[in-house]
A and B are shown apart, each in its own frame.
Chain A
Protein backbone atom coordinates (compact mmCIF):
# COMPACT_ATOMS: atom_id res chain seq x y z
CA UNK A 1 0.00 0.00 0.00
CA UNK A 2 3.00 2.25 0.59
CA UNK A 3 3.71 2.11 -3.14
CA UNK A 4 0.18 3.30 -3.90
CA UNK A 5 0.57 6.39 -1.74
CA UNK A 6 4.04 7.01 -3.13
CA UNK A 7 2.40 7.00 -6.55
CA UNK A 8 0.25 9.89 -5.36
CA UNK A 9 3.40 11.97 -5.02
CA UNK A 10 4.11 11.61 -1.31
CA UNK A 11 7.71 11.11 -0.13
CA UNK A 12 8.44 7.58 1.10
CA UNK A 13 8.16 8.25 4.81
CA UNK A 14 4.87 10.11 4.54
CA UNK A 15 3.51 7.45 2.20
CA UNK A 16 4.52 4.78 4.72
CA UNK A 17 2.83 6.64 7.55
CA UNK A 18 -0.39 7.21 5.62
CA UNK A 19 -0.42 3.62 4.36
CA UNK A 20 0.05 2.27 7.88
CA UNK A 21 -2.76 4.39 9.29
CA UNK A 22 -5.02 3.40 6.40
CA UNK A 23 -4.12 -0.25 7.05
CA UNK A 24 -4.92 0.08 10.75
CA UNK A 25 -8.31 1.60 9.94
CA UNK A 26 -8.96 -1.08 7.31
CA UNK A 27 -8.46 -3.72 9.99
CA UNK A 28 -9.85 -2.04 13.12
CA UNK A 29 -13.16 -0.85 11.66
CA UNK A 30 -14.17 -4.21 10.10
CA UNK A 31 -13.09 -5.96 13.30
CA UNK A 32 -15.40 -3.68 15.27
CA UNK A 33 -18.21 -4.33 12.80
CA UNK A 34 -17.50 -8.05 13.05
CA UNK A 35 -17.66 -7.81 16.85
CA UNK A 36 -21.09 -6.18 16.64
CA UNK A 37 -22.38 -8.86 14.26
CA UNK A 38 -20.78 -11.67 16.25
CA UNK A 39 -22.52 -10.53 19.45
CA UNK A 40 -25.75 -10.76 17.47
CA UNK A 41 -24.82 -14.26 16.24
CA UNK A 42 -23.93 -15.28 19.77
CA UNK A 43 -27.32 -14.23 21.08
CA UNK A 44 -29.14 -15.84 18.15
CA UNK A 45 -27.32 -19.17 18.62
CA UNK A 46 -27.97 -19.06 22.34
CA UNK A 47 -31.61 -18.30 21.64
CA UNK A 48 -31.93 -21.15 19.13
CA UNK A 49 -30.39 -23.66 21.55
CA UNK A 50 -32.69 -22.48 24.34
CA UNK A 51 -35.72 -22.62 21.98
CA UNK A 52 -36.12 -18.84 22.05
CA UNK A 53 -36.01 -16.39 19.18
CA UNK A 54 -33.14 -14.24 20.29
CA UNK A 55 -32.99 -10.59 19.21
CA UNK A 56 -35.58 -10.10 16.45
CA UNK A 57 -37.02 -6.61 16.84
CA UNK A 58 -34.44 -4.01 15.76
CA UNK A 59 -33.96 -4.12 12.00
CA UNK A 60 -34.57 -7.15 9.76
CA UNK A 61 -34.18 -10.36 11.84
CA UNK A 62 -32.90 -8.14 14.67
CA UNK A 63 -29.65 -7.56 12.76
CA UNK A 64 -29.25 -4.06 14.15
CA UNK A 65 -29.65 -5.12 17.79
CA UNK A 66 -25.94 -4.66 18.63
CA UNK A 67 -25.93 -1.16 17.16
CA UNK A 68 -29.02 -0.25 19.16
CA UNK A 69 -27.31 -1.54 22.28
CA UNK A 70 -24.19 0.43 21.42
CA UNK A 71 -26.19 3.62 20.98
CA UNK A 72 -28.01 3.06 24.25
CA UNK A 73 -24.75 2.49 26.12
CA UNK A 74 -23.24 5.56 24.51
CA UNK A 75 -26.01 7.77 25.87
CA UNK A 76 -25.75 6.48 29.44
CA UNK A 77 -23.99 8.28 32.24
CA UNK A 78 -20.47 7.22 33.16
CA UNK A 79 -20.45 6.52 36.88
CA UNK A 80 -17.17 6.51 38.76
CA UNK A 81 -17.42 5.14 42.30
CA UNK A 82 -16.24 7.73 44.81
CA UNK A 83 -13.83 5.28 46.45
CA UNK A 84 -12.33 4.21 43.11
CA UNK A 85 -8.82 4.99 42.02
CA UNK A 86 -9.95 7.27 39.22
CA UNK A 87 -7.03 7.22 36.79
CA UNK A 88 -6.58 3.46 36.79
CA UNK A 89 -10.34 2.91 36.85
CA UNK A 90 -10.66 4.76 33.55
CA UNK A 91 -7.45 3.39 32.08
CA UNK A 92 -8.43 -0.27 32.52
CA UNK A 93 -11.16 -0.52 29.85
CA UNK A 94 -9.00 1.50 27.45
CA UNK A 95 -6.13 -0.97 27.90
CA UNK A 96 -8.42 -3.99 27.43
CA UNK A 97 -9.83 -2.54 24.23
CA UNK A 98 -6.51 -1.34 22.77
CA UNK A 99 -4.73 -4.59 23.46
CA UNK A 100 -7.56 -6.59 21.92
CA UNK A 101 -7.21 -4.57 18.71
CA UNK A 102 -3.40 -4.40 18.67
CA UNK A 103 -2.99 -8.15 18.26
CA UNK A 104 -4.79 -8.02 14.88
CA UNK A 105 -1.78 -6.30 13.31
CA UNK A 106 -0.05 -9.56 12.44
CA UNK A 107 -3.08 -11.66 11.45
CA UNK A 108 -2.93 -12.57 7.74
CA UNK A 109 -6.43 -12.34 6.29
CA UNK A 110 -5.33 -13.55 2.89
CA UNK A 111 -2.22 -14.20 0.85
CA UNK A 112 -0.12 -11.14 1.71
CA UNK A 113 -3.11 -9.31 3.24
CA UNK A 114 -1.46 -8.46 6.55
CA UNK A 115 -0.59 -5.16 8.17
CA UNK A 116 2.76 -6.16 9.72
CA UNK A 117 4.33 -9.25 8.16
CA UNK A 118 7.00 -9.57 10.86
CA UNK A 119 9.31 -12.50 11.58
CA UNK A 120 8.15 -12.87 15.15
CA UNK A 121 4.42 -12.69 14.42
CA UNK A 122 3.41 -15.53 16.70
CA UNK A 123 5.55 -14.21 19.56
CA UNK A 124 3.93 -10.81 19.07
CA UNK A 125 0.49 -12.40 19.47
CA UNK A 126 1.67 -14.18 22.62
CA UNK A 127 3.15 -10.94 24.00
CA UNK A 128 0.08 -8.83 23.28
CA UNK A 129 -2.40 -11.39 24.55
CA UNK A 130 -0.42 -11.65 27.78
CA UNK A 131 -1.09 -7.92 28.25
CA UNK A 132 -4.83 -8.52 28.20
CA UNK A 133 -4.81 -9.53 31.85
CA UNK A 134 -3.78 -6.03 32.93
CA UNK A 135 -7.08 -4.48 31.95
CA UNK A 136 -8.90 -6.98 34.14
CA UNK A 137 -6.51 -6.78 37.10
CA UNK A 138 -6.41 -2.98 37.03
CA UNK A 139 -10.18 -2.63 36.82
CA UNK A 140 -10.64 -5.08 39.66
CA UNK A 141 -8.22 -3.28 41.92
CA UNK A 142 -9.22 0.27 41.00
CA UNK A 143 -12.93 -0.39 41.57
CA UNK A 144 -12.12 -0.71 45.28
CA UNK A 145 -14.89 -3.24 45.66
CA UNK A 146 -14.86 -6.87 46.78
CA UNK A 147 -16.35 -8.75 43.87
CA UNK A 148 -14.31 -7.03 41.17
CA UNK A 149 -11.18 -7.71 43.20
CA UNK A 150 -11.97 -11.42 43.55
CA UNK A 151 -12.63 -11.52 39.85
CA UNK A 152 -9.33 -9.78 39.09
CA UNK A 153 -7.38 -12.31 41.14
CA UNK A 154 -9.15 -15.19 39.45
CA UNK A 155 -8.48 -13.68 36.03
CA UNK A 156 -4.78 -13.15 36.71
CA UNK A 157 -4.23 -16.73 37.87
CA UNK A 158 -6.37 -18.18 35.09
CA UNK A 159 -4.73 -16.32 32.23
CA UNK A 160 -1.19 -17.02 33.41
CA UNK A 161 -1.96 -20.72 33.85
CA UNK A 162 -3.33 -21.24 30.40
CA UNK A 163 -0.78 -19.05 28.67
CA UNK A 164 1.91 -21.56 29.63
CA UNK A 165 0.31 -24.48 27.84
CA UNK A 166 -0.65 -22.26 24.90
CA UNK A 167 3.05 -21.36 24.63
CA UNK A 168 4.03 -25.03 24.38
CA UNK A 169 1.35 -25.72 21.79
CA UNK A 170 2.66 -22.84 19.73
CA UNK A 171 6.14 -24.39 20.01
CA UNK A 172 4.76 -27.61 18.49
CA UNK A 173 3.23 -25.71 15.59
CA UNK A 174 6.35 -23.62 15.06
CA UNK A 175 8.56 -26.72 15.07
CA UNK A 176 6.53 -28.17 12.24
CA UNK A 177 6.18 -24.94 10.30
CA UNK A 178 9.79 -23.87 10.87
CA UNK A 179 8.89 -20.19 11.26
CA UNK A 180 7.28 -17.71 13.63
CA UNK A 181 5.88 -15.74 10.72
CA UNK A 182 2.09 -16.13 10.53
CA UNK A 183 1.98 -16.22 6.72
CA UNK A 184 4.82 -18.77 6.79
CA UNK A 185 2.84 -20.97 9.17
CA UNK A 186 -0.17 -20.88 6.86
CA UNK A 187 2.00 -21.70 3.83
CA UNK A 188 3.56 -24.64 5.71
CA UNK A 189 0.11 -26.21 5.93
CA UNK A 190 -0.42 -26.32 2.15
CA UNK A 191 -1.13 -29.95 1.29
CA UNK A 192 -0.09 -31.03 4.76
CA UNK A 193 -2.51 -33.96 5.09
CA UNK A 194 -1.50 -36.61 2.51
CA UNK A 195 -0.78 -33.91 -0.01
CA UNK A 196 -4.35 -32.76 -0.60
CA UNK A 197 -5.82 -31.53 2.71
CA UNK A 198 -4.63 -28.16 4.02
CA UNK A 199 -4.07 -27.71 7.72
CA UNK A 200 -2.20 -29.09 10.72
CA UNK A 201 -5.64 -30.15 11.98
CA UNK A 202 -5.33 -33.33 9.94
CA UNK A 203 -1.96 -34.24 11.42
CA UNK A 204 -2.39 -37.06 13.97
CA UNK A 205 0.43 -35.66 16.12
CA UNK A 206 -0.87 -32.10 16.09
CA UNK A 207 -4.58 -32.86 16.36
CA UNK A 208 -4.46 -33.40 20.17
CA UNK A 209 -2.60 -30.11 20.41
CA UNK A 210 -5.42 -28.47 18.46
CA UNK A 211 -7.95 -29.77 20.98
CA UNK A 212 -5.85 -28.51 23.90
CA UNK A 213 -5.38 -25.17 22.15
CA UNK A 214 -9.08 -24.76 21.57
CA UNK A 215 -9.92 -25.46 25.21
CA UNK A 216 -7.10 -23.18 26.37
CA UNK A 217 -8.44 -20.48 24.07
CA UNK A 218 -11.79 -20.77 25.86
CA UNK A 219 -10.02 -20.36 29.19
CA UNK A 220 -7.79 -17.55 27.95
CA UNK A 221 -10.75 -15.49 26.78
CA UNK A 222 -12.70 -16.38 29.95
CA UNK A 223 -15.51 -17.89 27.91
CA UNK A 224 -17.91 -20.50 29.26
CA UNK A 225 -17.25 -23.04 30.73
CA UNK A 226 -14.28 -21.11 32.15
CA UNK A 227 -16.04 -17.76 32.70
CA UNK A 228 -15.20 -17.71 36.40
CA UNK A 229 -14.04 -14.11 36.21
CA UNK A 230 -17.58 -12.94 35.59
CA UNK A 231 -19.49 -15.78 37.18
CA UNK A 232 -22.81 -14.06 37.73
CA UNK A 233 -23.91 -16.53 40.40
CA UNK A 234 -20.91 -15.75 42.60
CA UNK A 235 -19.38 -12.40 41.64
CA UNK A 236 -22.25 -10.22 40.34
CA UNK A 237 -20.57 -9.31 37.04
CA UNK A 238 -16.95 -9.80 38.07
CA UNK A 239 -14.49 -7.05 37.27
CA UNK A 240 -17.11 -5.06 35.29
CA UNK A 241 -19.44 -4.70 38.27
CA UNK A 242 -18.65 -1.04 38.95
CA UNK A 243 -18.52 0.02 35.30
CA UNK A 244 -21.25 1.68 33.33
CA UNK A 245 -21.80 3.27 29.95
CA UNK A 246 -18.93 3.32 27.41
CA UNK A 247 -16.35 1.97 29.88
CA UNK A 248 -18.50 -1.13 30.24
CA UNK A 249 -18.98 -1.35 26.49
CA UNK A 250 -15.23 -1.16 25.91
CA UNK A 251 -14.79 -4.27 28.08
CA UNK A 252 -17.36 -6.12 26.04
CA UNK A 253 -15.95 -5.01 22.71
CA UNK A 254 -12.46 -5.97 23.82
CA UNK A 255 -13.65 -9.33 25.06
CA UNK A 256 -15.37 -10.22 21.81
CA UNK A 257 -12.44 -8.91 19.77
CA UNK A 258 -10.25 -11.29 21.80
CA UNK A 259 -12.62 -14.19 21.16
CA UNK A 260 -12.52 -13.47 17.43
CA UNK A 261 -8.73 -13.28 17.64
CA UNK A 262 -8.56 -16.69 19.26
CA UNK A 263 -10.92 -18.09 16.60
CA UNK A 264 -8.73 -16.71 13.84
CA UNK A 265 -5.64 -18.10 15.61
CA UNK A 266 -7.24 -21.56 15.57
CA UNK A 267 -7.82 -21.00 11.87
CA UNK A 268 -4.29 -19.84 11.12
CA UNK A 269 -2.43 -22.35 13.26
CA UNK A 270 -4.43 -25.49 12.57
CA UNK A 271 -6.93 -25.08 9.74
CA UNK A 272 -4.72 -23.59 7.06
CA UNK A 273 -5.72 -19.91 7.33
CA UNK A 274 -6.70 -18.50 3.96
CA UNK A 275 -6.07 -21.78 2.09
CA UNK A 276 -9.14 -23.72 0.98
CA UNK A 277 -9.70 -26.87 3.04
CA UNK A 278 -8.83 -29.18 0.16
CA UNK A 279 -5.99 -28.67 -2.30
CA UNK A 280 -8.13 -28.60 -5.42
CA UNK A 281 -7.74 -25.96 -8.11
CA UNK A 282 -11.43 -24.85 -8.48
CA UNK A 283 -11.56 -24.04 -4.76
CA UNK A 284 -8.86 -21.41 -5.31
CA UNK A 285 -11.36 -19.34 -7.32
CA UNK A 286 -12.93 -18.42 -3.99
CA UNK A 287 -10.78 -15.61 -2.53
CA UNK A 288 -8.60 -16.69 0.41
CA UNK A 289 -10.18 -13.95 2.48
CA UNK A 290 -13.55 -15.73 2.27
CA UNK A 291 -12.05 -19.05 3.39
CA UNK A 292 -10.41 -17.32 6.33
CA UNK A 293 -13.66 -15.68 7.42
CA UNK A 294 -15.67 -18.89 7.00
CA UNK A 295 -13.25 -20.90 9.13
CA UNK A 296 -13.09 -18.19 11.80
CA UNK A 297 -16.89 -18.02 11.85
CA UNK A 298 -17.04 -21.80 12.21
CA UNK A 299 -14.86 -21.61 15.31
CA UNK A 300 -16.97 -18.80 16.69
CA UNK A 301 -20.07 -20.97 16.30
CA UNK A 302 -18.25 -23.65 18.28
CA UNK A 303 -17.55 -21.06 20.98
CA UNK A 304 -21.24 -20.11 21.27
CA UNK A 305 -22.36 -23.73 21.08
CA UNK A 306 -20.11 -24.53 24.05
CA UNK A 307 -21.37 -21.48 25.91
CA UNK A 308 -24.92 -22.72 25.60
CA UNK A 309 -24.32 -26.35 26.52
CA UNK A 310 -21.52 -26.75 29.07
CA UNK A 311 -21.90 -25.97 32.79
CA UNK A 312 -19.30 -23.78 34.47
CA UNK A 313 -16.13 -25.29 35.94
CA UNK A 314 -15.25 -24.97 39.58
CA UNK A 315 -12.14 -22.87 40.14
CA UNK A 316 -9.97 -25.70 41.48
CA UNK A 317 -11.00 -27.86 38.53
CA UNK A 318 -9.93 -25.08 36.19
CA UNK A 319 -6.50 -24.84 37.82
CA UNK A 320 -6.12 -28.61 37.85
CA UNK A 321 -6.97 -28.86 34.15
CA UNK A 322 -4.44 -26.16 33.28
CA UNK A 323 -1.49 -27.26 35.38
CA UNK A 324 -1.94 -30.99 35.85
CA UNK A 325 -3.43 -32.02 32.52
CA UNK A 326 -2.67 -29.53 29.76
CA UNK A 327 0.83 -28.50 30.82
CA UNK A 328 2.30 -32.04 31.10
CA UNK A 329 0.43 -33.09 27.97
CA UNK A 330 1.71 -30.23 25.86
CA UNK A 331 5.24 -30.71 27.25
CA UNK A 332 5.18 -34.39 26.26
CA UNK A 333 3.94 -33.45 22.82
CA UNK A 334 6.76 -30.92 22.36
CA UNK A 335 9.22 -33.73 23.08
CA UNK A 336 7.38 -36.27 20.91
CA UNK A 337 6.92 -33.91 17.97
CA UNK A 338 10.48 -32.60 18.00
CA UNK A 339 11.73 -36.18 18.31
CA UNK A 340 9.60 -37.29 15.38
CA UNK A 341 10.69 -34.34 13.24
CA UNK A 342 14.34 -34.96 14.13
CA UNK A 343 14.02 -38.66 13.26
CA UNK A 344 12.38 -37.93 9.90
CA UNK A 345 15.00 -35.33 8.98
CA UNK A 346 12.63 -32.36 9.02
CA UNK A 347 15.34 -29.97 10.24
CA UNK A 348 18.03 -30.63 7.63
CA UNK A 349 17.50 -27.22 6.02
CA UNK A 350 17.40 -25.35 9.33
CA UNK A 351 20.04 -22.64 9.66
CA UNK A 352 23.04 -23.62 11.75
CA UNK A 353 26.36 -21.94 12.32
CA UNK A 354 27.95 -25.07 13.79
CA UNK A 355 27.10 -28.43 12.31
CA UNK A 356 25.88 -30.43 15.33
CA UNK A 357 26.93 -33.70 13.71
CA UNK A 358 30.62 -32.81 13.55
CA UNK A 359 31.05 -31.04 16.89
CA UNK A 360 32.60 -33.18 19.62
CA UNK A 361 32.14 -32.41 23.32
CA UNK A 362 35.86 -31.53 23.57
CA UNK A 363 35.44 -28.84 20.94
CA UNK A 364 32.55 -27.32 22.84
CA UNK A 365 34.52 -27.27 26.09
CA UNK A 366 37.45 -25.70 24.25
CA UNK A 367 35.19 -23.07 22.75
CA UNK A 368 33.71 -22.24 26.11
CA UNK A 369 37.06 -22.09 27.88
CA UNK A 370 38.66 -19.92 25.22
CA UNK A 371 39.06 -16.25 26.25
CA UNK A 372 36.08 -14.15 25.33
CA UNK A 373 36.70 -13.36 21.71
CA UNK A 374 34.55 -10.26 21.57
CA UNK A 375 37.53 -7.93 21.83
CA UNK A 376 40.50 -10.06 20.89
CA UNK A 377 39.60 -11.75 17.60
CA UNK A 378 37.15 -9.33 16.11
CA UNK A 379 39.83 -7.06 14.68
Chain B
Protein backbone atom coordinates (compact mmCIF):
# COMPACT_ATOMS: atom_id res chain seq x y z
CA UNK B 1 0.00 0.00 0.00
CA UNK B 2 2.80 2.39 0.95
CA UNK B 3 4.52 1.60 -2.34
CA UNK B 4 1.39 2.30 -4.34
CA UNK B 5 0.86 5.58 -2.51
CA UNK B 6 4.49 6.55 -3.01
CA UNK B 7 4.29 5.66 -6.69
CA UNK B 8 1.27 7.86 -7.29
CA UNK B 9 2.83 10.66 -5.27
CA UNK B 10 6.08 10.57 -7.24
CA UNK B 11 4.38 10.05 -10.61
CA UNK B 12 1.94 12.91 -10.09
CA UNK B 13 4.72 15.22 -8.97
CA UNK B 14 6.94 14.27 -11.93
CA UNK B 15 4.19 15.04 -14.43
CA UNK B 16 2.94 18.14 -12.63
CA UNK B 17 6.40 19.65 -12.23
CA UNK B 18 7.29 18.76 -15.82
CA UNK B 19 4.20 20.67 -16.95
CA UNK B 20 5.21 23.57 -14.71
CA UNK B 21 8.66 23.62 -16.35
CA UNK B 22 7.09 24.80 -19.59
CA UNK B 23 4.23 26.76 -18.02
CA UNK B 24 6.25 28.88 -15.59
CA UNK B 25 6.77 32.45 -16.74
CA UNK B 26 10.01 33.00 -14.92
CA UNK B 27 12.88 30.90 -16.34
CA UNK B 28 14.42 30.48 -12.89
CA UNK B 29 11.14 28.99 -11.69
CA UNK B 30 11.26 26.67 -14.70
CA UNK B 31 14.68 25.36 -13.68
CA UNK B 32 13.51 24.84 -10.11
CA UNK B 33 10.49 22.86 -11.33
CA UNK B 34 12.85 20.84 -13.51
CA UNK B 35 14.90 20.01 -10.43
CA UNK B 36 11.78 18.87 -8.60
CA UNK B 37 10.96 16.72 -11.60
CA UNK B 38 14.43 15.08 -11.57
CA UNK B 39 14.13 14.47 -7.88
CA UNK B 40 10.78 12.73 -8.15
CA UNK B 41 12.03 10.66 -11.09
CA UNK B 42 14.78 9.48 -8.74
CA UNK B 43 12.03 8.53 -6.29
CA UNK B 44 10.40 6.40 -8.99
CA UNK B 45 13.74 4.69 -9.65
CA UNK B 46 14.03 3.81 -5.96
CA UNK B 47 10.54 2.30 -6.11
CA UNK B 48 11.49 -0.08 -8.93
CA UNK B 49 14.57 -1.12 -6.97
CA UNK B 50 17.19 0.72 -9.02
CA UNK B 51 18.60 2.68 -6.10
CA UNK B 52 22.01 3.11 -7.72
CA UNK B 53 20.52 4.78 -10.80
CA UNK B 54 18.35 6.92 -8.54
CA UNK B 55 21.36 8.18 -6.60
CA UNK B 56 23.29 8.81 -9.82
CA UNK B 57 20.34 10.77 -11.18
CA UNK B 58 20.34 13.00 -8.13
CA UNK B 59 24.13 13.39 -7.96
CA UNK B 60 24.69 14.05 -11.67
CA UNK B 61 21.56 15.87 -12.78
CA UNK B 62 20.31 17.58 -9.65
CA UNK B 63 23.69 18.09 -8.01
CA UNK B 64 25.74 19.19 -11.00
CA UNK B 65 23.88 19.76 -14.27
CA UNK B 66 20.89 21.61 -12.83
CA UNK B 67 23.12 23.81 -10.66
CA UNK B 68 24.92 24.96 -13.81
CA UNK B 69 21.54 25.49 -15.53
CA UNK B 70 20.34 27.58 -12.63
CA UNK B 71 23.59 29.48 -12.61
CA UNK B 72 23.35 30.36 -16.30
CA UNK B 73 19.65 31.23 -16.21
CA UNK B 74 20.12 33.48 -13.16
CA UNK B 75 22.97 35.33 -14.86
CA UNK B 76 21.10 35.86 -18.10
CA UNK B 77 19.00 38.93 -18.62
CA UNK B 78 16.07 37.43 -20.43
CA UNK B 79 13.76 39.48 -22.60
CA UNK B 80 10.31 37.90 -22.24
CA UNK B 81 8.75 39.54 -25.30
CA UNK B 82 11.54 38.19 -27.50
CA UNK B 83 11.08 34.77 -25.95
CA UNK B 84 7.36 34.76 -26.82
CA UNK B 85 8.18 35.66 -30.43
CA UNK B 86 10.63 32.74 -30.54
CA UNK B 87 7.88 30.49 -29.24
CA UNK B 88 5.60 31.29 -32.19
CA UNK B 89 8.48 30.82 -34.63
CA UNK B 90 9.47 27.43 -33.23
CA UNK B 91 5.93 26.19 -32.72
CA UNK B 92 5.72 23.95 -35.86
CA UNK B 93 9.08 22.33 -35.11
CA UNK B 94 8.02 21.78 -31.50
CA UNK B 95 4.79 20.12 -32.61
CA UNK B 96 6.74 17.85 -34.98
CA UNK B 97 9.12 16.74 -32.21
CA UNK B 98 6.21 16.18 -29.84
CA UNK B 99 4.47 13.99 -32.42
CA UNK B 100 7.64 11.94 -33.00
CA UNK B 101 8.05 11.41 -29.24
CA UNK B 102 4.39 10.43 -28.92
CA UNK B 103 4.75 7.94 -31.79
CA UNK B 104 7.85 6.42 -30.18
CA UNK B 105 6.01 6.10 -26.89
CA UNK B 106 3.14 4.37 -28.69
CA UNK B 107 5.55 2.02 -30.47
CA UNK B 108 7.30 1.16 -27.25
CA UNK B 109 4.05 0.47 -25.43
CA UNK B 110 2.81 -1.59 -28.38
CA UNK B 111 5.98 -3.70 -28.45
CA UNK B 112 5.80 -4.23 -24.70
CA UNK B 113 2.11 -5.15 -24.92
CA UNK B 114 2.86 -7.70 -27.67
CA UNK B 115 5.17 -9.50 -25.25
CA UNK B 116 8.60 -10.98 -25.83
CA UNK B 117 10.60 -8.34 -23.98
CA UNK B 118 11.84 -9.44 -20.62
CA UNK B 119 12.72 -6.38 -18.65
CA UNK B 120 15.81 -6.47 -16.52
CA UNK B 121 17.66 -9.36 -18.17
CA UNK B 122 19.98 -8.21 -20.97
CA UNK B 123 20.82 -11.81 -21.84
CA UNK B 124 20.75 -15.28 -20.37
CA UNK B 125 24.31 -15.32 -19.06
CA UNK B 126 24.07 -12.01 -17.29
CA UNK B 127 20.82 -12.67 -15.49
CA UNK B 128 20.77 -10.54 -12.38
CA UNK B 129 19.73 -12.44 -9.33
CA UNK B 130 17.83 -10.68 -6.60
CA UNK B 131 20.62 -11.33 -4.12
CA UNK B 132 23.30 -9.26 -5.85
CA UNK B 133 23.11 -5.59 -5.04
CA UNK B 134 22.40 -3.06 -7.74
CA UNK B 135 25.92 -1.67 -7.80
CA UNK B 136 27.56 -5.10 -8.01
CA UNK B 137 25.26 -6.15 -10.85
CA UNK B 138 25.77 -2.98 -12.88
CA UNK B 139 29.50 -3.05 -12.21
CA UNK B 140 29.81 -6.67 -13.32
CA UNK B 141 27.92 -5.88 -16.54
CA UNK B 142 29.80 -2.67 -17.32
CA UNK B 143 33.25 -4.05 -16.55
CA UNK B 144 32.54 -7.50 -17.94
CA UNK B 145 30.28 -7.81 -20.93
CA UNK B 146 30.15 -4.16 -21.98
CA UNK B 147 33.74 -3.24 -21.13
CA UNK B 148 34.60 -2.16 -24.68
CA UNK B 149 31.57 0.09 -25.07
CA UNK B 150 32.15 1.47 -21.60
CA UNK B 151 35.78 2.30 -22.34
CA UNK B 152 34.84 3.87 -25.69
CA UNK B 153 32.27 6.06 -23.94
CA UNK B 154 34.93 7.08 -21.43
CA UNK B 155 37.41 8.02 -24.17
CA UNK B 156 34.76 10.03 -26.03
CA UNK B 157 34.03 11.95 -22.84
CA UNK B 158 37.73 12.53 -22.28
CA UNK B 159 38.11 13.88 -25.82
CA UNK B 160 35.08 16.13 -25.31
CA UNK B 161 36.55 17.41 -22.06
CA UNK B 162 39.93 18.17 -23.63
CA UNK B 163 38.14 19.86 -26.53
CA UNK B 164 36.14 22.07 -24.17
CA UNK B 165 39.28 23.05 -22.29
CA UNK B 166 41.20 23.81 -25.50
CA UNK B 167 38.33 25.92 -26.83
CA UNK B 168 37.84 27.99 -23.70
CA UNK B 169 41.30 28.20 -22.17
CA UNK B 170 43.00 31.53 -22.64
CA UNK B 171 46.49 31.66 -21.21
CA UNK B 172 47.10 34.99 -19.47
CA UNK B 173 49.80 37.05 -21.17
CA UNK B 174 53.20 36.49 -19.53
CA UNK B 175 53.92 38.85 -16.71
CA UNK B 176 50.28 39.73 -16.10
CA UNK B 177 48.69 39.67 -12.68
CA UNK B 178 46.62 36.64 -13.52
CA UNK B 179 49.79 34.60 -13.72
CA UNK B 180 50.39 33.90 -10.08
CA UNK B 181 53.07 31.80 -8.52
CA UNK B 182 51.47 30.68 -5.29
CA UNK B 183 54.74 29.26 -3.96
CA UNK B 184 56.43 32.61 -4.47
CA UNK B 185 53.56 34.41 -2.76
CA UNK B 186 53.68 32.17 0.26
CA UNK B 187 57.47 32.24 0.52
CA UNK B 188 57.45 36.03 0.72
CA UNK B 189 58.35 37.28 4.20
CA UNK B 190 57.39 40.56 5.89
CA UNK B 191 60.98 41.82 5.70
CA UNK B 192 60.90 41.79 1.90
CA UNK B 193 57.46 43.33 1.62
CA UNK B 194 57.65 46.17 4.12
CA UNK B 195 60.13 48.90 4.96
CA UNK B 196 60.49 50.92 8.14
CA UNK B 197 60.68 54.67 7.51
CA UNK B 198 60.97 57.42 10.06
CA UNK B 199 60.16 60.62 8.18
CA UNK B 200 60.90 64.05 9.57
CA UNK B 201 57.96 66.32 10.26
CA UNK B 202 56.58 67.82 7.05
CA UNK B 203 59.05 65.92 4.84
CA UNK B 204 57.18 62.86 3.55
CA UNK B 205 58.72 59.61 2.32
CA UNK B 206 60.34 58.64 -0.94
CA UNK B 207 59.34 55.13 -2.02
Assess whether A197 is interfacial by the CB under 8 Å rule: no
Q: How far is the CA of A41 from the CA of B118 in the complex (A)?
A: 58
Question: In the complex, what residues of A have CB within 8 A of residue B59's CB?
Answer: 123, 126-127, 130
Assess whether A282 is interfacial by the CB under 8 Å rule: no
Which of B36-85 touch A at CB < 8 Å? 51-52, 55-56, 58-59, 62-64, 67-68, 70-71, 74
Cβ contacts A to B, 22 pairs, < 8 Å? A13-B1, A88-B32, A119-B52, A120-B134, A123-B56, A124-B55, A126-B59, A138-B32, A141-B28, A141-B74, A160-B67, A180-B135, A316-B180, A353-B125, A353-B126, A353-B140, A356-B144, A368-B148, A373-B123, A374-B122, A378-B121, A378-B124
Q: How far is the CA of A156 from the CA of B62 in the complex (A)?
A: 13
**Stretch from A216-224, A271-279, A302-310, A359-367 forming part of the interface with B:** A359-367
Known interface pairs A317-B182, A374-B117; A365-B144 also in contact (CB < 8 Å): no
Question: In the complex, what residues of A have CB within 8 A of residue B51's CB?
Answer: 118-120
Q: What is the total number of residues of chain A having a CB less than 8 Å from a CB of chain B?
A: 47
Chain B interface mostly helix, strand, loop or mixed?
A: helix
Assess whether B194 is interfacial by the CB under 8 Å rule: no
Determine how close the nearest CB of chain B comes to the CB of A103; give it in whole angstroms: 12
Determine how close the nearest CB of chain B comes to the CB of A145; give it in whole angstroms: 13
Known interface pairs A359-B144, A364-B148, A368-B148; A137-B67 also in contact (CB < 8 Å): yes
| Contact pattern, A 305-343, Cβ under 8 Å of B = 1, otherwise 0 | 000000000001100100000000000000000000000
Q: How many A-B residue pairs have CB under 8 A?
A: 117
**When the two chains form their complex, are residues B116 and A379 in contact, meaning their CB atoms are under 8 A apart?**
yes
| Contact pattern, A 262-284, Cβ under 8 Å of B = 1, otherwise 0 | 00000000000000000000000
Determine how close the nearest CB of chain A comes to the CB of B36; give it in whole angstroms: 11
Known interface pairs A131-B62, A137-B67, A141-B28; A353-B141 also in contact (CB < 8 Å): yes
What would 10 more interface pairs be, CB under 8 Å, given A133-B63, A351-B140, A364-B148?
Answer: A17-B2, A118-B51, A119-B133, A120-B134, A127-B63, A137-B70, A160-B67, A352-B143, A354-B144, A375-B116
